[in-house]
Amino acid sequence: MAKSVSSSINCSLSGLIGPYSLTDLINQKLNKNTSYSGIYVWGVLHNSKYYPIYVGKGKNICERLFQHLIRFSGGEYLIPEKSEIINPNRNYPLLKKSYLKTTILPQGLLHFPIGSFDFNSFEKNKSINQTKKFIRQNFFASWKVIPNYTDLQSAIEEGNLANKIGKQKLIGTRYKASNNNLTFINDFLTINFE
């Protein structure tokens, strides 16, 4: 089940268990009752390269991973085009800024979660459905169990991992701590770009 990670994000994933596919998680009966606490990364494996999409922390990693898939599929997260997901130079904060400035979806972005939206057109959108299917079919997850889990220690490790990968490459969260400094980043708008 666990495979060695050999990709451009290898140093970012050192110390993590995995990667596991969605099929691996299901076959191993990993679910919300499988309680591992620590940090995790999920994304897609495409043409033998790993493209992280999200870094997080939690008291129940397996439950969080399935929550992310459900929320992504339901439109709670921004949904980029497939070509953007596998773009090594992706920059989600830039796409987000562009949308917030014009409220028009920029090239590379299929859906932006900003409150209520028309689920009928969302569910019928062929490009969105293709991207959701691509995520499920090519999903990977890796994690690091943190003994004696605390939110503070996990937040620091989560932030360090996000920094190693590059925060601009993640669909993100409101903040990621790093280097023992819990600096909150306001919805991507203050991230330093590479």
Radius of gyration of the chain (CA): 16
Would you call 164 exposed, middle or buried from its count of C-beta atoms within 10 A (0-12, 13-18, 19+)?
middle
pLDDT reported for residue 150? 87
Domain boundaries, the chain: 11-169
For 1-54, write each residue's pLDDT tens digit. Answer: 344 333 333 434 457 888 999 998 888 777 677 778 899 999 999 999 999 999
More confident residue, 60 or 181: 60
| Edge-to-edge strand ranges of the sheet holding 139-145 | 17-21, 139-145, 38-46, 49-58
**Gap between the Cα atoms of 50 and 21, Å rounded:** 11
Maximum mean pLDDT: which of 36-40, 116-120, 136-140:
136-140
In the chain, what percentage of residues exceed pLDDT 90?
A: 43
